[in-house]
Each structure stands twice: as structure tokens, then as C-alpha cells.
Amino acid sequence: MILPFVASGFGTFMLRQTFKQVPKSLEDAALMDGAGHLRFIWHVLIPLSRPTIVTFSMISIATHWNDYFWPLIITDVDRVRTLTIGLGMFVQQESGSDWSLLMAATLFVCAPIIAFFLATQKTFIKNFLTSGIKG
């Protein structure tokens, strides 16, 4: 279920824009110091783009965590279905639903995303603070 969403146009565009902000002189300096292209990417570009990578991963995880239609189409066994489909099945259409149980289940589904945001909050905010700085 995850494989089709590993590469996306939005993520490619975000990383491209981040990599374009890195000055050419920084790459030239790394190459003069003896670093190859892969070492430059691994030791310079990836650390500089860490806020963008974390921001994109957070947006992507939150978006696909809440997917309902795609997992419903490709799964046919209840034990491999996602939590969002479980919430949909939790609602009983004949006798209505117990709203207190449904809200408690919804809280358990939302808790990992909230915990992920709280854990990566500094990096997420750092990306927005440095996005307008050209240097």
C-alpha cells in the first residue's frame, strides 16, 4: 500500500527547490576539498535539507495516514486494513453509533500523528522560518 506513494511530484519539487538554494560555491568548495558528488550529497545537501525532508515526510504521513479509498480498494482481508477503514466499519448503520466510543477510537487513530508532530515540531517550524531567507 505504501509503495505507490514513496515518490511524489510534490516531494520532488520541494527537494529540488531546496537543492537549488544551495550556492554553487559550496559545491565547488567541497569538490576542491576532495569530496565526490555522492559525498557532497550525503554530507552537505542532506543535512542542509533535513528540515525540508522532515516537513515533507510529516505532510506525506499525515495525508496517507488518513487515506480511506486507496486501502479500501486494494485490501480484501479485515486483518490488513487500515485504522481509517476500521473507523468507518465501527459506525453501525442499523442501530446508529455510540458517539463516545467512536470519538475515543478517533483519538487513538489521531494520537500517532499528533505525537509525530510534537516530536518533529522544531524541525517543522525551522523549515518555515528559513524558507524565505536567500543566502
Give the CATH number, domain containing residue 62.
1.10.3720.10
135 in a structural domain: no
Whole-number pLDDT of residue 130: 64
Number of domains in the chain: 1
Separation of alpha carbons 48 and 52, rounded Å: 9
pLDDT profile of the chain (135 residues), mean per 10: 80 89 88 89 88 84 83 86 83 68 87 86 73 55
- Strand stretches in the chain, DSSP E: none
Whole-number pLDDT of residue 84: 84
Residues with Cβ within 8 Å of 44's Cβ and at least 6 positions away in sequence, in order, are: 22, 26, 27, 30, 35
65 in a structural domain: yes
Whole-number pLDDT of residue 99: 81
Whole-number pLDDT of residue 80: 84
What is the value of pTM for the model shown? 0.68
Whole-number pLDDT of residue 132: 55
81 in a structural domain: yes
Of the candidates 5, 2, 7, 21, the residue with the CA atom closest to the CA atom of residue 127: 21
Whole-number pLDDT of residue 92: 63
Residues with Cβ within 8 Å of 116's Cβ and at least 6 positions away in sequence, in order, are: 58, 61, 62
Show the domain range for 73.
3-130
Q: Are 72 and 84 in contact (CB under 8 A)?
A: no
